[in-house]
Amino acid sequence: MAYVSNQRGMKVIDFQRVQLVGPGYLGDLPYIAPEMPAATEHPYVVLSVCDLQRHLIAAGKRIAADGTWGTASKTAFSDWTKTLPLADARTVMPTGYNALPTFGSREDYKFQGQSLRIPAIYATRLLPMANVLCRASVRTAPGEEPIRSDADVASVASYESKTPWAMIGVGVGAAVIIGVLVFKSKQKAGRA
């Protein structure tokens, strides 16, 4: 066997013996069948980009559920896969030094139409989706209001600020009024 290095890594070239026929050759050499590697299957699960983003948000990743598979989403998914046991990573990448193949280089980690294929072992390890609305699903034509169900309206509140600004404003207003009343009562007490 000989080893040849190329850009994608080490490739093995198997030299095969062949039968030579004709005058001047040393006779018939036996044909040795090359050892064919076993077929490698990469099981995958198909998810929409929004669904995977919502799973990652539930896992604590700070990304937006916008339906776009950009750098932030890829990085969040890659970082999440690194938190899983090494045995899971080795079922996807036998070398184990990287938890994911290069995006689009294999059938288990690439786009399938508008959806995304991810390795099946990682799909089984995902936490339940976070209750956030995918921003890609509420895009409508200009001037139209998106139709939402009650469940969607409840999840829209999760995008809004958690700080109760109206209550803070009422509290500050009450504190100012109380302060003014206390100040005036002290002024009256000081004059008397």
Does residue 25 sit within a domain?
Answer: no
Does residue 78 sit within a domain?
Answer: yes
Assign 3-class secondary structure to the chain.
CEEEEECCEEEEECCCCCCCCCCCCCCCCCCCCCCCCCCCCCCEEEEEHHHHHHHHHHCCCCCCCCCCCCHHHHHHHHHHHCCCCHHHHHHHCCCCCCCCCCCCCCCCCEEECCEEEEEHHHHHHCCCCCCCCCHHHHCCCCCCCCCCCHHHHHHHCCCCCCCCHHHHHHHHHHHHHHHHHHHHHHHHHHHC
- What pLDDT score was predicted for residue 170? 86
- What pLDDT score was predicted for residue 4? 46
Does residue 34 sit within a domain?
Answer: no
pLDDT exceeds 70 at position 19: no
- What pLDDT score was predicted for residue 58? 93
Residue-wise pLDDT tens digits, 23-61 = 555 555 555 556 655 666 788 899 999 999 999 999 999
Does residue 131 sit within a domain?
Answer: yes
Q: Domain span at residue 152?
A: 44-156
Looking at the structure of the chain, the number of domains it has is 1
Does residue 128 sit within a domain?
Answer: yes
| Apex 119 CA angle, 127 and 60, nearest 5 | 30
- Its pTM stands at 0.53
The pLDDT mean for the chain works out to 75
Residue-wise pLDDT tens digits, 124-168 = 999 999 999 988 755 444 544 444 444 444 444 444 556 777 788
Does residue 68 sit within a domain?
Answer: yes
Does residue 37 sit within a domain?
Answer: no
Does residue 82 sit within a domain?
Answer: yes
pLDDT exceeds 60 at position 108: yes
